[in-house]
A and B are shown apart, each in its own frame.
Chain A
Amino acid sequence: MGLLDGLLDKFKQGLRRTQELVLSPIQGLLGLRRLDEDQLQELEDLLLQADLGVHAVDRLMARLRFEMKRSGDIDPRAALKDELLKILHLHPSRPLTAGETQVLLLVGVNGVGKTTTLGKLAAHLKARGEGVMVVAGDTFRAAAIDQLEAWGVRAGVPVVRNQMGGDPAAIAYDGAASALAKSIPWVLIDTAGRLHTKDHLMKELDKIRRSLQKVIPSAPHRVFMVLDATTGQNGITQAEAFKQVAGVTDLILTKLDGSAKGGVVVPILERLKLPIAYVGVGEGVDDLIPFDPEAFVDGLLGA
């Protein structure tokens, strides 16, 4: 029995290894000590497939070539990891620490997961024993308020809302004022998805900011731009625009439970000097975890 089990385990292990190699050819390449031109090209292609973008990949490849020139054997995985972690460690995210009422604003293009993330974040803060209030700032998309209410119930937190088509800046104001009056430490404000190229919609975010500041001058204390991990190079212009108009302070990368690696955050972080606060790994209430650079890089490199 024992022997058979052991054999079976070994067999399964072997199978998994083969599977990994087949499914993730990058593993094979990263395990080599030297790469020839073809292998370098192949590796470059695989890195590009993680949405890192041409420039970042060029730099990564330059580092590998440099190391190969300098020494006999190299460790491609370590070199790439080092290079990527340098960028990801550059600006660590500040933890959320409760104190006086703080306003968190969630922004981003349509469908990236703002409302879901807000629900998860509310549940997370609530689970720490801290008071949370959520504000239905998306008064535009059909049933957006109902969706947020469902999340309010799920997270066990009160929802501030007005009717569809209402002024998002006004409801944001109400939410902040009510939380301040009740000394609730966290106010989470959902906003409607909007493309960063629509000036009039982007201006609305500025208006929300300003009306929050009438209640609490230092608000919003954090502005999270939610980014879908499947996003390609357009993520860069998204982040640039939202940072400029809405004063984004952190990114939240969602849908990392899919097959996309979210590599576009690397050029974004590098360019805009933003941290990643959390990542979304599913649709459940617990599927939000603090960003872990090491794990993220392992994901990028197909580990």
Chain B
Amino acid sequence: MFDSLSDKLSKAMKTLRGHSKLTEANIEAALREVRMALLEADVHVQVARTFLSRVKEKALGKDVLDGLNPAQAFIDIVHQELTAIMGGQVDEHPLNYASKGPTVVMMVGLQGAGKTTTSGKLAKFLKKAGRSPLLVPADVYRPAAIEQLHIVAKDAGVPSFRTEEKDPVAICKAALKEAELKGWDTVILDTAGRLHLDEQLMEELSKIKATCEPSEILFVADAMTGQDAVRSASAFHEKLAITGVVLTKADGDTRGGAAFSIKEVTGQPVKFVGEGEKLDDFQRFHPDRMAQRILGMGDVLSLIEHAKDRIDEKDAEQIAQRLAKNQFTLEDMRKQFQQVKKLGSMQKIIGMMPGMGQMKEQLASVASDKRVTHMEAILNSMTPKERANPNLLDGKRRRRIALGAGRPVHEVNQLLKQYLEMKKMMSQMNDPKFMQKMQRMAGGKGMPGMGGGLGGFKMPF
């Protein structure tokens, strides 16, 4: 339902090609579109307003660089600004550790945000980083919450604290003592979900904080949260002075504007993102990716992210790196075809790419096209050496490959041509001039030759 922001911006600023400066008049329509995009992404109204006035200030009078149109120059400023606000560079050390004694990390948040799963993920993450965490179930209210944490701890391969205590403050206190005794260096307190309006339960958190003196208080927030994120996050922050945010359930299709709102009202960094139900689905936070996602701009990275549910993560990352370095090989192409087959629908992914809104439909059928299978067969019939170095593929080898794949030779030739085109396209992706071209096409009739199936299929996915 959401057109990508880039699509909208190019529409809004279509008439402005040739302008060389950003002016009040020529960015007005764009500002409206960005506001709309932010609101559709659930960024809080006030936060959006403040942000837009900051962007406007930055943009006015800026020169439009050669090869860019005003829309692109503007979106560039918007993106940079949002990335900066979301945290700019990623901290090398995500967490503060206590200088002496066990480090206490306290997980807080609303009901259903995902604290228990996140506690387990964090424990596993820290364990991999060489620490020895202890998980502490402090949710005595929700049925089976304690049992849930014990199971999660077992999955994560870390100990969890068992006690006869029934009071959350007492449980946390006892756990801390046990950690000191047994040498666990990080204590993760999984507190019960609660409403920020519930004074009594908020007071309980204050008591736990006073008793355990946590080095980190992480506010766990659902990425799908709407405008209320501002109210809940600021209430938790006011009461507890949180030190960071963990964004959960970001593996869906939410644009995640809540992350921006929370960052803006608490000033505390988003440290981690949960992207799945498995304990390994837990990552450091990347401000630039988040900024693109909120803006609905899409890029190769978020495209890969979106597909991650069904594609091999290591492969995806490698391919992303290769794309960035322009080292894309036939082997990568093969992996991508394998992934395409795993992807049910490419529509969503294509929709995330700038300027491609209108190509969605045309591309939808490609994933199920049997030509993908044919091309994969051709790639499979090459030796790893050949896939790594397409220059080896002389006429003789091509005939052998065709025979092995049971396809005519001209299909092998076609595939190689497409590979070269894809490679060229990848290098262009980083080139602003290319984006301009894409947008012009999107404004017209879509990509030329797209209707003809794979003959004109230039996309890697």
Residues of A within 8 A of B (CB): 45, 48-51, 53-54, 109-113, 140-144, 146-147, 149-151, 154, 195-199, 228-238, 255, 257-261, 263-264, 283
Contacts and interface: CB of A to CB of B under 8 A. Distances in A.
Given A110-B249, A146-B148, A199-B344, 8 more contacts: A54-B39, A109-B252, A141-B148, A147-B148, A197-B252, A230-B228, A232-B224, A258-B195
A232 B113 contact: no
Contact of B253 (A54, A197, A261, A283): A197
Interface stretch (B137-145, B177-185, B396-404): B137-145
Given A109-B252, A258-B195, A230 B232 contact: yes
A234 B45 CA distance: 16
Given A54-B36, A150-B144, A283 B254 contact: no
Contact of A233 (B42, B144, B228, B249): B42
A237 B251 CA distance: 14
Contacts of A51: 42, 226-228
Contacts of A257: 195, 197
10 contacts: A45-B46, A109-B252, A110-B114, A143-B144, A196-B253, A230-B225, A231-B222, A232-B257, A258-B110, A258-B197
Given A142-B148, A151-B143, A259-B196, A232 B225 contact: yes
A146 B144 CA distance: 6
B257 to A, nearest CB: 7
Contact of B227 (A49, A198, A235): A49
A234 B254 contact: yes
B252 A196 contact: yes
Contacts of B252: 109, 195-197, 234
A237 B150 CA distance: 34
B384 interface: no
B44 interface: yes
Contact residues of B: prevailing secondary structure: loop
Given A51-B228, A230-B225, A112 B112 contact: yes
A147 B143 contact: yes
B446 to A, nearest CB: 24
Nearest to B309: A198
Contacts of A48: 39, 45, 227
B142 A147 contact: yes
A269 B1 CA distance: 16
Nearest to B148: A143
A54 B114 contact: no
Interface residues of B, number: 51
Nearest to A259: B231
Nearest to B345: A199
A57 to B, nearest CB: 9
B313 interface: no
Contact of A231 (B111, B145, B196, B224): B224
B265 to A, nearest CB: 13
Among A111, A258, A260, max chain B CB count under 10 A is at A111
B141 A233 contact: no
B116 to A, nearest CB: 8
Contacts of B113: 111
B147 interface: yes
Contact of A259 (B44, B111, B222, B232): B232
B228 A258 contact: yes
A142 B277 CA distance: 11
A163 B57 CA distance: 60
Interface in B227-244: 227-229, 231-232
Contact of B110 (A109, A147, A197, A230): A230
Contact of B44 (A49, A150, A196, A283): A49
B155 interface: yes
Contacts of A111: 111-114, 222, 249
B135 interface: no
